[in-house]
Amino acid sequence: MSTYFSDIPAIAYEGPESTNPLSFKWYDKDRLVLGKRMEDHLRFAVCYWHSFCWNGFDPFGYDGTFERPWQRVADPMAAARMKADAAFDFFSRLGAPYYCFHDRDVAPEGSTPRESVNHLHEMVEVLQAKQAQTGMKLLWGTANLFSHRRFMSGASTNPDPEIFALAALQVKEAMDATLKLGGENYVLWGGREGYETLLNTRVGQELDQMGRFLNMVVDYKHKIGFKGTILIEPKPREPSKHQYDFDTATVYGFLQRHGLEKEIKVNIEANHATLSGHSFEHEIATAIDLGIFGSIDMNRGDMQCGWDTDQFPNNIPETALALYLILQGGGFTTGGLNFDAKVRRQSIDAEDMFHGHIGGMDVSARALLIAEQMITDGQLARHVEARYAGWNTPFGQDLMAGRLGLDQVAERALERNQDTRPVSGRQELLENLLNRYI
């Protein structure tokens, strides 16, 4: 199926003045940014599911609109191999260094659990060969524990322990596949790990089940010698009414309760962040400060819709602030920037898939250069440092070190016997400063 993209040339960097829509204007992978190649900073990944599995359907258009050739093949395994041909041809022409997949993206569900496992094993051999041929790497693998009807009441949180076991089988096999393919992370997305109504739900029991499941995952990671990072992807709702991994702070509290805060980090998606009532940068900053930042899914939502639209990013200021926070936090280690995004269902041509990814990569690259300016200039960081300077005084350090009790602090306030005037936060000045970089 490499012929599906045969009319598309390899995408090259041509610079901001280029009018060629099938070229990068800002993503120059070898350009040094803060002493590191742009490609190594951003670590772009293409998602298998939206790009090659989605057929353009929506709740009101069941038949889909895309009609990709591999989606019209009756034999599921033949279709999987053809889809892999197309996917790796796309990766190579685009020039992204990584890809990501769910187990059911690359290998079809069988009629029995054993047949499903056999399908995955066969396709892992195919993917391994294609990685060797193309130089593509796997940013992360995961298991689809939400599409099949057996998971309608959850996977690890299911009221039936036999379904819990089937979920465990899928995760075990997906982790084995990720290890064999040299994956740098493994993601857990609990799309059905939540509830629809409290009339039939034991929240405490389901949370305990989920905690037990995650401990089993971590134990298995160490058992097989997987050196990558285990990631949870927070999401507040949809498909479940309320999901237990609502946002980064909720995930951190859950990990602490189950002794996993040193073992598991988060994969933050922009669209999930906004659905939870936060901004993308809020979730990134929270994860970095809590020590659980791992990776990101770069997309955007439609603020006029109440669901996850998974659109390619196009907001440069917001992306620049997100990357500024990531760079300040030390940058990616095992994580990267995965486009959990899809072209719109009216964008039906092969070329449209390239336009979506080129745009997302250029927005991110331009935002990275802006973040570099922000860090090199240092004005924003100096404003923040000055705002909290009092905490670097002996009094501030004694407070945070626990050397003073409530009564001692209260006595100090009485001894000083004077009010302290607040200092301006200068929000408008800082917003203007951000816009000046852009």
Task: Tell me the whole-structure pTM to 2 decimals.
Answer: 0.96
Q: Which residue has tokens 């922000």?
A: 374
Q: Give the integer Cα–Cα distance in Å for 193 and 325.
A: 29
Residue 59 is predicted with a pLDDT of 83
Per-residue model confidence as pLDDT tens digits over 108-164: 999 999 999 999 999 999 999 999 999 999 999 999 999 999 999 999 999 999 999
Residue 330 is predicted with a pLDDT of 97
Per-residue model confidence as pLDDT tens digits over 64-110: 999 999 999 999 999 999 999 999 999 999 999 999 999 999 999 99
Res. 306: pLDDT tops 90: no
Q: Give the integer Cα–Cα distance in Å for 137 and 114.
A: 27
**Catalytic residue flag (residue 102):** yes
Res. 336: pLDDT tops 80: yes
Q: Give the integer Cα–Cα distance in Å for 178 and 229.
A: 11
Mean pLDDT for 175-183 is 98
Residue 162 is predicted with a pLDDT of 98
Q: Which of 85, 89, 103, 105 is catalytic?
A: 105
Q: Output the six-digit token pair for 341.
A: 């995004």
Per-residue model confidence as pLDDT tens digits over 221-237: 999 999 999 999 999 98
Q: Which of 41, 50, 102, 278 is catalytic?
A: 102
- When pLDDT is cut at 50, 70 and 90, the band that residue 167 belongs to is very high
Binding site feature residues for Mg(2+): 233, 269, 272, 297, 308, 310, 340
Burial class (CB in 10 A: 0-12, 13-18, 19+), 154: buried
Mean pLDDT across the chain:
96
Q: What is the DSSP string of 83-122?
A: HHHHHHHHHHHHT-SEEEEEHHHHS---SSHHHHHHHHHH
Binding site feature residues: 233, 269, 272, 297, 308, 310, 340
* Greater pLDDT, 81 or 307: 81
